[in-house]
Amino acid sequence: MGSFLPCSRSYFAPLLLLLILAACSSSQASNTTAKLSTVWSTDSYVLFRSVPGGYNLSFAATIYSHYHKYFFAICVFAPGSWNRDNVVVVWSANRDRPVQRGSTLNFTADGDLVLRDSDGSLVWSTNTSGQSIIGMKITESGNLVLFNHKNLPVWQSFDHPTDTMLPRQPLMEGMKLTPSIDNVSFAASNQFYLAVHQYGLHASVGSIQHQIYYEYNQAGHFTYDEHTYIALVNGSMSVFATSSLPTDSINNAGIDLPHARSLQYMRFESDGHLRLYEWNQRYSQWSFVQDIFELDYCMYPTVCGEYGICRNGQCICPIGAGDTLYFKQADIWNPGLGCIPVRPISSCHSVPAEQDHQLVALSDVSYFSFSDPDAVIISDEESCKQACSRNCSCKAAFHSSLNGPSESCLLVSEVLSMQGYETDSTAYKIAGASAAAV
């Protein structure tokens, strides 16, 4: 077994961290591969190798402790550094199901990689038994690979992304990134998704209704029968045809990014931002480089919480005609947590729920996006409101006339952050038959 190598986004005891990194540094040359029939316990590193380029960084596949819970993960860090912020988790096998001390990771004789909790219960597996696997390795790009006798990958961590992408890691069509629920937890959020489609990618939000708030589309760059993938290359986040490599500068289109001076990584984070980070060799720390989406602050869908309105970077609650208050702040000390109805809206299961609802108009307020495949083409604002009134799951109707004759009507069942916009109109449901209809 190897030496103790935890990786975390939170607290490390300085003396313990020093011992960890010293042990890793002395072992890096001989731990890039593993053989079948090998077992590791908690407080063990699994595989370890240096990042090429002379950046004094290393990748490690390890079982690590985070608030007394254990995860099997891949980390990148600077050996010899005392700074806990220098350790970045780039992939985790069991992010939603941590294990306890005394758990084991078993690379079985039949080629399966199995994580079991301290009570012996199965937590995670590559499900690769009987597929002629002969070994496991961590590559120079940070990819954990189970390979066969031809040195071809049978299973690899790059095919199972979490919230982070490394350089030249392909995010294939149909794959998605899912952020953690916050900055200290590794559990996956059920709010945000970044997915690759045939001609690019889109970011969506919503646990009930997936609503697109960012889209990068290069439909004119590829033929209709080509499939694509996303990769972070030096100077761009590019969309490639599957027939080309990440080094192919011809058959790709992309978002320009600053050229890398060291190792970079992209992380889809709990607030819906896709951020680029880079290792700063001069200061021996990770530095923020760019917010890749480059959206206005108020265009992010959870910036002011549910029903909150973002105006000039400030969060307020909707106010009806005559300053009627239908909503109140969820937390008066933190307006970004959103607003809640003064009277809760009945569910579709309440009969007759629709008889207790009215639509209240809100002018000069728009939603974060109308880029939604379910947006209905309705010619006038009144028809948009009526469509919401007849739909018990609809909580707000957003009507936009920016597109001239192709006006948009978006009906949402989960109302997230709104923003001020002079040409749009909004109607949202409130409870109470005495409310004035619009």
Residue 23, phi then psi, degrees to nearest 5 = -65, -40
Q: How buried is 28 (Cβ within 10 angstroms: 0-12 exposed, 13-18 middle, 19+ buried)? A: middle
The predicted-structure confidence for 320-374, as pLDDT tens digits, reads as follows 766 678 899 999 999 999 999 888 777 676 655 455 677 888 877 888 876 655 5
Would you say residue 84 lies in a domain? yes
**Quick one: tokens of 162?**
């979490």
* 239 and 330 belong to one structural domain: no
Are 224 and 340 in a shared domain? no
The neighbouring-strand residues paired with 44 are 63
* Both structure tokens of 73: 């993960």
- HSE-up (13 A, CA, CB side) for residue 360: 21
Where does a domain end: 110, 131, 158? Answer: 158
Examine the domain organization and report whether 53 and 24 are in the same domain: yes
Is the predicted pLDDT of residue 84 greater than 70, yes or no? Answer: no
Confidence (pTM): 0.85
Distance CA 351, CA 361 (A): 25
Secondary structure letter of residue 372 according to DSSP: -
Mean of pLDDT values over 299-307: 94
Least confident residue range of 22-36, 113-127, 164-178, 349-363: 22-36
Most confident of 161-175, 217-231, 414-428: 161-175
| Statement to judge: residues 328 and 425 lie in one domain | yes
Same domain, 145 and 186: no
Task: Give whole-number Cα distances, 416 to 47, 213, 252, 272, 366, in Å.
Answer: 43, 11, 34, 13, 11
> Does residue 438 form part of some domain?
no
Do 70 and 167 lie in a common domain?
A: no
Question: Does residue 73 surpass a pLDDT of 80?
Answer: yes
Number of domains in the chain: 3
Pair type for strands 408-412 and 396-400: antiparallel
Please check whether residue 233 lies inside any domain of the structure.
yes
Q: Which residues, 6 or more positions from 334, have their beta carbon under 8 angstroms from its beta carbon?
A: none
Structural domain harbouring 243: 161-295
User: What does 12-28 look like in DSSP terms, one character per residue?
Assistant: --HHHHHHHHHHHHHHG
- Residue 24 confidence (pLDDT): 42
Q: Which amino acid is at 430?
A: I
Residue 79 lies in a domain: yes
- Tell me whether residue 247 is in a domain: yes
Residue 318: exposed, middle, or buried by beta-carbon count in 10 A (0-12, 13-18, 19+)? buried
428 is written with which tokens? 């949202």
Of residues 253 and 105, which shows the higher confidence score? 105
**What is the identity of the amino acid at 303?**
V
- Shared domain for 116 and 237, answered yes or no, is no
Q: Could you give the residue ranges of the DSSP H alpha helices within 377-423?
A: 381-389
The residue from 277, 295, 313 where one domain ends is 295
Q: 3-state DSSP call for residue 227? A: coil
> Does residue 233 sit in the same domain as residue 253?
yes
Q: Find the CATH number of the domain harbouring 398.
A: 3.50.4.10
Same domain, 1 and 147: yes
Domain-located, residue 436? no
Within 10 A of 190 (CB to CB), how many other CB atoms are there?
Answer: 11
Q: Report the number of secondary-structure helices (H) and strands (E) in the chain.
A: 2, 33
4 and 150 belong to one structural domain: yes
Examine residue 414 and state whether it is found in any structural domain, yes or no: yes
In a domain? residue 437: no
C-alpha torsion 409→217→416→360, nearest 10? -10
CATH of the domain at 167: 2.90.10.10
Residues paired with 377 in a beta bridge: 408
Which of 129, 158, 187 is a domain's end point?
158
Work out the average pLDDT over 256-265: 92
Asked if 61 and 73 touch (Cβ cutoff 8 Å), the reply is: yes
Q: Among 115-119, 164-168, 243-247, 330-334, whose mean pLDDT is lowest?
A: 243-247
Alpha carbon distance 368, 114 (integer Å): 43
DSSP, res 99: B
Q: pLDDT-based confidence at 219, cuts 50/70/90?
A: low
Sign, CA dihedral 82-85-86-90, equals positive
CA-derived radius of gyration, the chain: 25
Please tell me whether residues 17 and 118 are part of one structural domain.
yes
Question: CA neighbours within 13 Å on the CB side: how many for 88?
Answer: 24
Residue 13 sits in the same domain as residue 151? yes
